[in-house]
């Protein structure tokens, strides 16, 4: 009996530890736009084309303004890998190839998550990304499907 | 002041380009002078600067590098683009490049064109470009001046010759382009009808093996590339091809050469796989060349060169990358060791091939500042400059090249 209690306690302890040791489920990332963007959703391909700086206008004809964090920012890295499904260095190479051959432009880089939200909220046609917990009514969430 | 000096230059072929360049530069300086808020919406400026040091055990490359080494290699570039509307883009890049005898640091226009896309939606983009456009050749040609976009200090020379660099870099004309995005990958097509640039100091020497009395003239040429990319560039495949036509305008009655033609028809097959930490790249290029109608002193000739390289890079720590590459060039596949050429001309056989083993190291100190070092062990002198190694007479077959480079961009 004592043995079984011991095992039970151990299992309980281990499971407790495993809960504690598990990394905190990260705040999911969402694609955000300025309030004037009327688009209801985006396909993964269109999203990648936008952040790859190849798709430059919304279906309404309005120019798209892309905002990103610095390539070393963990949120940017997570966005590239989990949402765009490409490595940050691939995305950077794709911008460089366009910028230095004159065939395209670079996205606008912001310093912090606060600046990202402020810029996306204030710039017509803007698109960016954020942790879900940080957003408020000043920006729209754009579902990807 | 820059404008007046450049426009008075006697160098006629580049005169118009230089004038346009000066006006652009003056405008750019004016823009920089004003406050950022005053810029038109959609204007971006980017630039880069690199300084290298090269040392060779024998032979010269980008300066008097044999023995003492040389700081004769440097690049300074500035580009501006203006997205006038989502469909209309204006772009221009100016460059000053020093590369020993082969480039003197004079300001040049790399590209300057207007880009209009007439179809643009979530899955397609089609448009045309008009002006001086980067040649879509292989994986690296479009941005070859920017050290950050190169895998190494020197690009694999078998395909990206630095001696005839302007010819390869960009050309004046019109380009049709298309993009198609699908669930199983993205396709990109570029097709250009252009006049090639014949202003490389080494180009004439590589045709005539010396100076000629007349001038080279660019003739209408074709260039095209089809690209397939999967998973945003994890897999990249390309087929590029060109037919480059250059004519010769003889220098009067005493010129031994007649009004001949030079035709270069490279085909480049490219493949790249990019993982998170490593990438593997290979390119293969058969390069048929023909020279004809130059008269009795330069009989019609046809030969096919061959180039390929295999390259691996590995990011072994954050911001650190190592490189290993084997790069091979043959000028004539019917005479790979150059023995027939040596018999015919008395010039060294090893000037007809090059086999280059390269190891390199890259350190991205910050996203905009990079340091690099690399070492080459080379068998053959196939891609050396004629200007820096006249007649190849003083060259050695086996040689080493060591290079370091610091580069900044914004």
As for the ipTM of the complex, it is: 0.86
Q: Which of A73, A98, A100 to mutate to test the interface with B (most CBs of B within 10 A)?
A: A100
Residue pLDDT, tens place only, A26-80: 679 999 999 999 989 999 989 999 999 999 999 988 999 999 999 999 999 999 9
Structural element, H or E, at residue B47: strand B43-56
Say which range, B32-46, B59-73, B272-286, B391-405, has the weakest mean pLDDT: B32-46
Query: Which of B44, B142, B276 shows the shortest C-beta gap to A101?
Result: B142
Tell me if A102 and B120 make a contact (CB, 8 A cut-off): no
CA angle B180, B183, B185 (to 5 degrees): 55
Q: How far is A29 from chain B (nearest CA, A)?
A: 19
CA distances from A106 to A98, B83, B93 (A): 8, 11, 15
> Strand, helix or coil at B24?
helix
Tell me if A86 and B234 make a contact (CB, 8 A cut-off): yes
CATH number for the domain including A94?
3.40.190.10
Burial of A74 (0-12, 13-18, 19+ CB in 10 A): exposed
B42 touches chain A (CB under 8 A): yes
Percent of chain B with pLDDT over 90: 62
**Cβ contacts of B89 on chain A, cutoff 8 Å:** 102-105
Under DSSP, the state recorded for A57 is B
Per the structure, the complete domain to which residue A65 belongs is given by 26-142
Number of A/B CB contacts below 8 angstroms equals 107
pTM: predicted TM-score of the whole model, two decimal places: 0.85
Tell me if B44 and A99 make a contact (CB, 8 A cut-off): yes
Mean pLDDT over all residues of chain B?
A: 87
Query: Which of B92, B115, B181 shows the shortest C-beta gap to A45?
Result: B181
Tell me if A100 and B182 make a contact (CB, 8 A cut-off): no
Tell me if B367 and A71 make a contact (CB, 8 A cut-off): yes
Q: How far is B289 from chain A (nearest CA, A)?
A: 27
Q: Is A118 a domain residue?
A: yes
Residue pLDDT, tens place only, A76-100: 999 999 999 999 999 999 999 999 9
Band (pLDDT 50/70/90 cuts) for residue B85 is very high
Q: Which of A59, A102, A123 to mutate to test the interface with B (most CBs of B within 10 A)?
A: A102
Alpha carbon distance B225, B173 (integer Å): 16
Instruction: Summarize the confidence of residues B271-285 as an average pLDDT.
Output: 96
Q: Which of A101, A123, A127 to mutate to test the interface with B (most CBs of B within 10 A)?
A: A101
Structural element, H or E, at residue B74: strand B70-85
A-contacting residues in B 3-22 (Cβ below 8 Å): none
Q: Is A17 a domain residue?
A: no
Domain B44-409 class, CATH top level? mainly beta
**Cβ contacts of A99 on chain B, cutoff 8 Å:** 44, 46, 79, 81
Q: Is A129 a domain residue?
A: yes
Tell me if A86 and B145 make a contact (CB, 8 A cut-off): no
Q: What is the pLDDT of residue B2?
A: 33
Check whether B184 has a pLDDT greater than 70.
Answer: yes
> Strand, helix or coil at A122?
helix
What residue ranges do the domains of chain B occupy? 44-409
Alpha carbon distance A100, B12 (integer Å): 27
Band (pLDDT 50/70/90 cuts) for residue A2 is low
Alpha carbon distance B245, B293 (integer Å): 13
A-contacting residues in B 257-286 (Cβ below 8 Å): 274, 276
Under DSSP, the state recorded for A79 is I
Q: Where are the beta strands (DSSP E) in B139-220?
A: 170-182, 185-196, 215-218
Tell me if A43 and B232 make a contact (CB, 8 A cut-off): no
**Cβ contacts of B120 on chain A, cutoff 8 Å:** 55-57
Pairing of strands B170-182, B215-218: unpaired
Tell me if B367 and A63 make a contact (CB, 8 A cut-off): no
Tell me if B115 and A103 make a contact (CB, 8 A cut-off): yes
Tell me if B367 and A103 make a contact (CB, 8 A cut-off): no
Residue of A nearest to B81 (CA): A102
Structural element, H or E, at residue B317: strand B301-317
Check whether A21 has a pLDDT greater than 50.
Answer: no
B79 touches chain A (CB under 8 A): yes
Check whether B93 has a pLDDT greater than 90.
Answer: yes
Residue pLDDT, tens place only, B366-375: 999 999 999 9
B367 touches chain A (CB under 8 A): yes
Q: Is A18 a domain residue?
A: no
Tell me if A72 and B42 make a contact (CB, 8 A cut-off): no
Task: Quote the number of domains for chain A.
Answer: 1
Tell me if A90 and B111 make a contact (CB, 8 A cut-off): no
């Amino acid at each position: 009996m004592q043995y079984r209690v011991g095992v039970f306690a151990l299992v309980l302890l281990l499971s407790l530890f495993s809960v504690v040791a598990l990394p905190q489920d990260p705040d999911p990332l969402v694609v955000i736009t300025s309030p004037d963007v009327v688009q209801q959703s985006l396909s993964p391909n269109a999203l990648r084309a936008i952040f790859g700086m190849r798709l430059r206008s919304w279906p309404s004809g309005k120019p798209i303004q892309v905002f990103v964090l610095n390539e070393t920012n963990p949120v940017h890295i997570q966005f590239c890998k989990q949402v765009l499904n490409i490595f940050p260095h691939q995305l950077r190479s794709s911008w460089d190839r366009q910028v230095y051959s004159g065939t395209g432009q670079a996205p606008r880089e912001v310093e912090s998550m606060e600046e990202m939200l402020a810029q996306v909220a204030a710039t017509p046609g803007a698109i960016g990304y954020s942790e879900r917990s940080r957003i408020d009514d000043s920006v729209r969430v754009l579902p990807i499907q | 002041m820059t404008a007046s000096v450049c426009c008075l230059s006697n160098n006629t072929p580049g005169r118009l380009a230089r004038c346009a360049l000066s006006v652009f530069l003056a405008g750019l300086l004016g823009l920089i002078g004003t406050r950022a808020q005053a810029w038109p919406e959609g204007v971006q400026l980017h630039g880069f600067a690199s300084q290298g040091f090269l040392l060779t055990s024998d032979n010269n490359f980008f300066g008097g590098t044999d023995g003492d080494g040389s700081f004769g290699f440097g690049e300074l570039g500035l580009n501006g683009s203006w997205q006038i509307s989502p469909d209309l883009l204006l772009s221009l890049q100016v460059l000053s490049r020093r590369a020993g005898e082969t480039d003197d640091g004079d300001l040049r226009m790399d590209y300057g064109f207007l880009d209009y896309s007439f179809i643009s939606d979530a899955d397609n983009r089609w448009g045309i470009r008009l002006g001086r456009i980067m040649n879509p050749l292989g994986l690296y040609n479009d941005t070859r001046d920017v050290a950050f976009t190169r895998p190494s200090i020197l690009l694999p020379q078998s395909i990206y010759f630095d001696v005839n660099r302007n010819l390869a870099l960009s050309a004046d004309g019109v380009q049709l382009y298309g993009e198609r995005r699908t669930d199983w990958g993205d396709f990109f097509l570029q097709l250009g009808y252009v006049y090639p640039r014949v202003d490389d100091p080494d180009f004439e020497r590589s045709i005539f093996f010396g100076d000629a009395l007349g001038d080279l003239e660019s003739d209408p040429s074709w260039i095209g590339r089809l690209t397939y990319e999967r998973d945003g560039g994890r897999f990249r495949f390309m087929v590029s091809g060109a037919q480059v036509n250059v004519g010769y305008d003889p220098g009067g009655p005493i010129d031994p050469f007649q009004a001949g033609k030079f035709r270069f028809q490279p085909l480049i097959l490219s493949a790249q796989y990019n993982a998170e930490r490593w990438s593997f790249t290979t390119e293969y290029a058969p390069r048929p060349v023909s020279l004809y109608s130059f008269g009795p002193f330069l009989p019609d000739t046809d030969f096919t060169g061959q180039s390929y390289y295999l390259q691996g890079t590995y990011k072994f720590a954050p911001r650190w990358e190592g490189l290993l590459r084997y790069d091979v060039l043959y000028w004539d596949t019917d005479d790979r060791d150059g023995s027939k050429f040596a018999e015919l001309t008395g010039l060294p056989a090893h000037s007809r091939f090059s086999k280059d083993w390269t190891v390199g190291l890259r350190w991205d100190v910050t996203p905009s500042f990079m340091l690099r070092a690399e070492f080459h062990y080379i068998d053959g002198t196939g891609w050396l400059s004629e200007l820096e190694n006249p007649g190849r007479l003083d060259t050695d077959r086996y040689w080493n090249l060591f290079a370091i480079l610091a580069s900044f961009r914004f």
